Structure 1
Amino acid sequence: MNNLPRFIRWPFIFLAICWGVWFFEAVTHIDLGVWGILPRHWSGLWGILFSPFLHGGLWHLVANTVPVAVLMFLILFFYPRLAPAALLFIHIGTGLCVWLAARPSYHIGASGVIYGYASFLFFSGIFRKSWRAALLSLLVFLLYGGMVAGVFPTDPHISWEAHLLGAFTGGVGAYIFREEPA
């Protein structure tokens, strides 16, 4: 596995953890959702690290698998130098924003970081002012532009706050890293 490029290895590892956690929960019948983000509770701070790896069921995990793989791959492939910092910023930043601002219930799933990845890729194309970044931005918009609807509250079981705050964090990250070498 170490001889695979990181743009393949990292999404694989991230998703292997997600699927491993889901399998553990399915076999043991232990709900790890309490390790999600619980806003403004000290115990919920652990969720900043763990919540993207926790999912509410098989279909939740299935729905997040392809976007995580594609968007993380794109960041790692097109921004190899700044990808580690950008991915960490999006993961921690999204979780911290959810912990600070979301409604008081457990927030789990990779959707927040997915919105962060998509937003980072989209806004990097605008802030970097390069044709390559702009084309990538257009591709992300064509593939994932429909995600915009997910930042509005439609279902009380879906953390629209994580979607909105992930998109915000990704945009902020794109601005912060705009002059860093890709």
Structure 2
Amino acid sequence: MTGTGGYPLQPAGPAKRPVWVVGGVTVVSFVVLLWLIELFDTLTGHRLDDNGIRPLETDGLTGILVAPLLHSNWEHLIANTGPALVLGFLMTLAGLSRFIFATAIIWFAGGLGTWLIGNVGAPTYNGVIVETNHIGASGLIFGWLTFLIVFGFFTRTVWEIVVGVVVFFIYGGILLGVLPGTFGVSWQGHLCGALAGVLAAYLLSGPERKTRALRRPVRPPSLNT
């Protein structure tokens, strides 16, 4: 079969799915995974929860890989589900590759920070710090939150700035969770996740910052007379 002028017609490729559809499916799949893990954890007597981040312990380093996937109970998971769906979806609108890289930076940098300072402010017993075990997706959520708030100011993209401002007004209040306060809540994980989100936003805005720098006019050198 040929087209106009005798050239063979190229078969149409598969329709490309909109970014918001791919992003939505990705984030929902991640949250479903969290629920399946918690279901398995509940059925096995919460044995998985012991695999969180245990600060300054060598075997506690492996918790960096799995801590965001674990939750202490259903209430803990439910509290994280809504923000994870909303903020995770907004993250994907900046591009799926950026979402993946940002999540990886927040996951590992935030986890490492928690491993380093997770015992700060921990209770003591007979002068010995009580071992802490940090689990939950909150650190990741705090990282997504700060990423969304500051990313637009790094890229100078109007719609990303608007998203950041809106997100700040809706969810900014939870940033108080980076401060010591509620017993049993990992403010250290929140703080490290939030800082990792800012780091991810800065690193991943590199192409826009570089382009903006190249557009700046070069001032001629001043000559003294």
TM-score, reference length from structure 1 = 0.92
Of structures 1 and 2, the one with the larger relative CO (CA 8 A, separation 6+) is: 1
Contact 1:82-1:180 within 8 A present in 2 as well = no
Matched to 2:143, the amino acid is G
> Of Structure 1 and Structure 2, which has the larger fraction of its residues in helix?
1
Unpaired stretches in structure 1, ≥5 consecutive residues: none
Post-superposition, which runs of at least 4 consecutive aligned residues in structure 1 deviate over 2 A? 3-6, 78-81
Partner of 1:46: 62
Across the aligned residues of Structure 1 and Structure 2, the Cα RMSD in angstroms comes to 1.6
CA displacement 1:15-70 (0-9 Å, x = unmatched):
12211111112222233111111111111111111011110111100000011111
Partner of 1:167: 194
Q: Distance in 2 between matches of 1:140 and 1:80?
A: 19
Q: 1:131 aligns with which of 138, 158, 172?
A: 158
The 3-state SS of whatever aligns with 2:165 is helix
Unpaired stretches in structure 2, ≥5 consecutive residues: 1-16, 120-130, 209-225
Which segment is superposed worse, 77-86 or 155-164? Answer: 77-86
Partner of 2:99: 83
Partner of 1:93: 109
Partner of 2:51: 35
Contact 1:53-1:109 within 8 A present in 2 as well = yes
CA displacement 1:90-126 (0-9 Å, x = unmatched):
1111111111221151000000000000001111022
Percent identity for Structure 1 against Structure 2: 34
Q: Distance in 1 between matches of 2:74 and 2:97?
A: 34
Which segment is superposed worse, 25-34 or 65-74? Answer: 25-34
Aligned length, in residue pairs: 179
Matched to 1:113, the amino acid is L
Matched to 2:195, the amino acid is F
Q: Distance in 1 between matches of 2:51 and 2:113?
A: 16
